[in-house]
Amino acid sequence: MATSKQMTFSRRSFLKSSALASGGMIIGFNLFNACKSDVKPSIDLSKLNYNDFNAFIKISPEGKVTIFAPNPEIGQGVKTSMPMLIAEELDVAWKDVYVVQGDLDTKNFTRQLAGGSQSIRLGWEPLRQTGATAKQMLVNAAAARWGVDASECNAKLGVITNANGETLGYGDVVSEAALLEVPENVTLKDSKDFTIIGQGKGNVDIDKIITGKPLFGLDYKEEGMLYATILRPPAFGQILDSFDAAAAKAIPGVIDVITIGEKAKAYIEDGPNSWTARFNDHEKVVVIANNTWNAIKGKKAIKATWKEESPLEDTALHDKKLNAILDGNTFSTMRSDGNVKKAFANADTVFERTYESPFLPHSCMEPMNFFASVTPDKVHLVGPTQTPAEAAKIVSKLLDRDIDDVHVEMTRMGGGFGRRLYNDFVCEAVEISNTIKKPVKMVSTREDDIATGIYRPAKKYRIAASLKEGEITGYHLKESNIDSNMYGLIPHFFPAGAIENYQVDTANYRSNISTGAWRAPYTNFLASAEQSFFDELAEEMGVDRIQLHMDLLDKAKNNPDPKIDYSPERLQGVLKLVVDKSNWGKAEEGVYQGLSVYYCHNTHVAEVADIVMENGLPLVKKVTCAVDCGVVVNPLGALNQIKGGIIDGIGHAMYSDFGFNNGIPQSNNFNTYQLIRMGQTPKVDVHFIESDMAPTGLGEPTLPPVGAAVANAIYKATGKRLRKQPYMSNMNVEETVLG
């Protein structure tokens, strides 16, 4: 079972130390890899060698600790929780720890990607080892100075004490420690001795955020920097035919109007392709101006004509294609146990339902943007990306330049949700700067951001179960998707292993609309579909919903299957906890409850939604959530992510609708595209399973299940099964249309 696996890695020389030129010690470490034998951290802080190490700890002669944190921050709090792991084992006061976002300038960086809720899970052991090793070096230095054995010394809160009660601060011995051998065998603390892990630590950028200091990509400025906006085709399937820039050029502050696109086109010929539709528009018109507003005005003044390059698609077409897939036989099978066909043939009843969800834009609060300065000696890039190393790689290919010329500096990100995995905005900024030979910031308007996005595609799930003598004998799930299919371990999630005859099939339709990952890819709707289905199935079988799940999980426990990717015990644990904490089955008059329990992104979650009807419409009042995420490293950060994931999930399941008409997105701003607002939000009540298992991520796993919890509650309130998201736009759908 993947969740309980301990990280193993060769500790041998995964970190190196040097004495800093400015005094103090610098430790470079290479998470997940051994360091090259001949490298040492740079002794000059301004030239940290990120090519050899992916993060650094500096300990100053004053005993202050600075961690150059490697992971980009997209609201997941990893910039806080990852340093907590180091600080815990290093045994320093949290107030003496500073965190600096390192520039990413690297070819070797392995896990610089913020996504997949993986950062904290993969860093759990190595980050603690790093802290513990640094502490041991300091202790060894102090012991050497005292002429005693290191085992007689103790370190706490930045102070080393020997058997005689003499003390030395970390800062006092740091210069000597820097010259010592890196010890090989350090022991990690027992979880009951943690003083930082498990304590709520606030966001490290909090002071800057609440006082409006520059932090985000859109805030970045450089001397002589120009601003650029890009005019892209209004419809997917169209390309530029001609344009007239005279009116735009007449606007004061507009400096030039150029086109880009040729280089990107050359690049995508062998590039990844789920998002290439965006590059296929061949040529884009770019307005260069002295400030953002003039660049926006200039863009509006361009008169362009467009021609159709491929058919203009709309939502009705997608619907038809997805249905045809469900009815057809183009599927590939992702997992198959037993014989579903036979089970269905022998069944007393086959129960089948279909669930569907629309396209969704990411709507990051900070629209896409990037700064680029392409000069003969280097390519300087600054901005918000979830994949900085990938950005450097693409740009070096795009410009045909050595990767060492490309420097990526990361800013804080105003949201990612998967959108900033794709570096299309980096390529655009680079092409513009390369053309005009000036530093430039490419800025998207909200309309660009929503209407020329890389969307979560619309999809449908058809799920069928065969029942015989009151037992579930078979389970068959078909995924009908656009552009891509579920992958990896998803087919091995619950109920895999719990039902003897089990099959997951998938097929897709290729669209010319660009699609990509969106917070909790695939599971973000799959969980809603499956957990709504089980609610319906329990009703059909006339059994208790909780009991049905407990029994299925017992079956999975009793037939251990090494391939399944969840823990039946842990799922039962969260299920019991949520039942206990949510007042399940005992809700007060007028409150209707719905349940959902799910495992994804390495974390086990159960949720109960309490809804009331207000003016004939459902409103979610409260969500009770039970989470098993192993050790809770930073409860404050964890709560933020859990609550945010749940409310985000409710928003998109209930309110956010998105489709296409003749290739044109039906909305391009928040007046027509609805995001959840405060008046629609429930109170989220979170309960953790106490655990000393390795921590698992929380950026994603609480989002997927909540849609079903809401739909199941709405059914109790209205008698209406909602199988199509967003629920509020589809409240009146006749049940006969679906299922």
Partner 1 sequence: MQNIDNMPTFNLKINNETHTVEADMDTPLLWVLRDQIDLVGTKYGCGIGQCGACTVHVDGTATRSCLLQVSQAEGMNITTIEGLSEHGDHPVQQAWKEVDVPQCGYCQAGQIMTASAFLDKNPNPTETQIRNAMHGNICRCAAYNNIEEAVKVAAEKLS
Residues 681-710 contacting partner 1, CB under 8 A = 681, 683-684
Let me know the angle formed at the C-alpha of 149 by 147 and 152, rounded to the nearest 5 degrees. 120
For 724, which DSSP code? B
- The window from 42-50, 123-131, 392-400, 645-653 that contacts partner 1 (CB under 8 A) reads 645-653
**Cβ of residue 250: shortest distance to partner 1, in angstroms?**
7
CB of 670 to ligand FES, least distance (A): 7
Shortest CB 698 distance to partner 1, Å: 11
**For residues 31 and 226, which CB has a smaller minimum distance to partner 1 in the complex?**
226
The single residue listed with the structure tokens 């085709």 is 233
Distance of alpha carbon 632 from alpha carbon 81, whole angstroms = 10
Instruction: Based on the shown chain and the rule CB under 8 A, indicate whether residue 212 belongs to the binding site for partner 1.
Output: yes
Residue 728 binds partner 1, judged by CB under 8 A: no
Gap between the Cα atoms of 574 and 417, Å rounded: 26
Cβ 296 to ligand FES shortest distance, Å: 12
Cβ 361 to partner 1, closest distance in Å? 11
- The torsion angle over the Cα atoms of residues 26, 27, 28 and 31, rounded to 10 degrees, is -150
Structural Rg of the chain based on CA atoms? 27
Laid out side by side, the sheet with 154-156 consists of 154-156, 159-161, 167-169
Token duo for residue 277: 């539709």
Q: Is 677 among the residues that bind partner 1 (CB under 8 A)?
A: yes
Distance CA 311, CA 235 (A): 10
Residues 340-369 that bind partner 1 (CB under 8 A): 363-367
Q: Cβ 83 to partner 1, closest distance in Å?
A: 15
Quick one: which segment of 29-37, 158-166, 243-251, 351-359 binds partner 1 (CB under 8 A)?
A: 243-251
**Could you tell which of partner 1, ligand FES, none binds residue 293, using a CB distance below 5 to 8 A set by kind?**
partner 1
Q: Which does residue 694 bind out of partner 1, ligand FES, none, counting CB within 5 to 8 angstroms by kind?
A: none
Site string for partner 1, 71-90 (x = CB under 8 A): --xxxxx-------------
- Cα 74 to the center of its chain, rounded Å: 8
Choose from partner 1, ligand FES, none: what does 364 bind? Cβ within 5-8 Å by kind. partner 1
Residue 660 C-beta: closest distance to ligand FES, Å: 24
Instruction: Select the residue interacting with partner 1 from 2, 21, 247, 675 (CB under 8 A).
Output: 675
Tell me how far, at minimum, the Cβ of 39 lies from partner 1, in Å: 34
The 3-state DSSP class for residue 688 equals strand
Q: Give me the sign of the Cα torsion angle 268, 269, 273, 278.
A: positive
Number of amino acids touching partner 1 (CB under 8 A): 73
294 lines the binding site for partner 1 (CB under 8 A): yes
Q: For residue 312, what is the DSSP state?
A: P
Reference 35, options 61, 59, 9, 74; nearest CA is: 9
Q: State how far the Cα of 37 lies from the Cα of 417, in Å rounded to an integer.
A: 38
Site for partner 1 contains 8 (CB under 8 A): no
Residue 209 within binding range of partner 1, rule CB under 8 A: yes
Report in angstroms the alpha-carbon separations of 517 from 18, 74, 480, 485.
Answer: 41, 15, 16, 11
CB of 69 to partner 1, least distance (A): 16
Decide: is 651 part of the binding site for partner 1 (CB under 8 A). Answer: yes
Token output for 191: 């979880």
- Single-letter amino acid code for the residue at 207: D
- Given the rule CB under 6 A, which residues bind ligand FES? 75, 365, 415
Minimum Å gap between C-beta 602 and partner 1 is 20
Tokens for 547? 């009991």
**Position of minimal CB gap to ligand FES:** 365
Which range, of 57-65, 285-293, 487-495, 597-605, touches partner 1 by CB under 8 A?
Answer: 285-293
Residue 258 sits in the site that holds partner 1 (CB under 8 A)? no
| 543, interface contact from ligand FES, partner 1, none, CB < 5-8 Å by kind | none
- Under the criterion CB under 8 A, does residue 300 sit at the interface with partner 1? no
Closest CA to 695 of 573, 576, 568, 603: 603
Q: Which of residues 213-232 bind partner 1 (CB under 8 A)?
A: 213-216, 218-219, 221, 227
Residues 6+ apart with CB under 8 A from 49: 28, 39, 41, 42
Q: Based on CB atoms, which residue is closest to ligand FES, 416 or 665?
A: 416
Binding-site member from 303, 669, 735, 739 for partner 1 (CB under 8 A): 669
User: By three-state DSSP, how is residue 472 classified?
Assistant: strand
Q: What is the largest CA-CA distance in the chain?
A: 84
Per partner kind, with CB cut-offs from 5 to 8 A, the member of partner 1, ligand FES, none near residue 679 is: partner 1
For residues 587, 589, 592, 595, the Cα torsion angle rounded to the nearest 10 degrees is 10
Interaction partner, residue 459 (partner 1, ligand FES, none; CB < 5-8 Å by kind): none
By the rule CB under 8 A, 165 interacts with partner 1:
no
217 binds, among partner 1, ligand FES, none (CB under 5 to 8 A by kind): none
**Does residue number 386 form part of the binding site for partner 1 (CB under 8 A)?**
no
Binding flag, residue 647, partner 1 (CB under 8 A)? yes
In whole angstroms, give the CA distance from residue 446 to residue 454: 14
| Residue 76 CB, nearest approach to ligand FES (Å) | 11
Residue 237's Cβ-side half-sphere holds a number of Cα atoms within 13 Å equal to 16
Return the one option of ligand FES, partner 1, none that residue 251 interacts with (CB less than 5 to 8 A, by type): partner 1
x-marked contacts with partner 1 along 410-449 as a string, rule CB under 8 A: --xxxxxx---------------------------xx---
Q: Which is nearer to ligand FES, 450 or 631 (CB)?
A: 450
| DSSP character string of 149-160 | -GGG-EEETTEE
The reply on whether position 487 binds partner 1 by CB under 8 A is no
For ligand FES, the closer of residues 681 and 718 by Cβ is 681
Among 670, 692, 737, 739, which residue sits at the site for partner 1 (rule: CB under 8 A)?
670
Sign of the C-alpha dihedral, residues 487, 493, 497, 499?
negative
- Find where tokens 């050359």 sit: 266
Provide the token pair at 390.
């990938």
Of residues 111, 136, 133, the one with CA closest to residue 123 = 111
169 closest CA partner among 22, 24, 43: 24
If you write DSSP's letter for every residue of 81-131 in order, what string do you get? HHHHHHHHHHT--GGGEEEEEPPB--SS-------TT-HHHHHHHHHHHHH
Q: Which of 165, 252, 376, 542 binds partner 1 (CB under 8 A)?
A: 252
- Looking at residue 490, what DSSP letter applies? G
CB-nearer residue toward ligand FES: 183 or 415: 415
Residue 653, interface with partner 1 (CB under 8 A)?
Answer: no
Please tell me whether residue 207 binds partner 1 under the rule CB under 8 A: yes
The Cα–Cα gap between 20 and 62 comes to 13
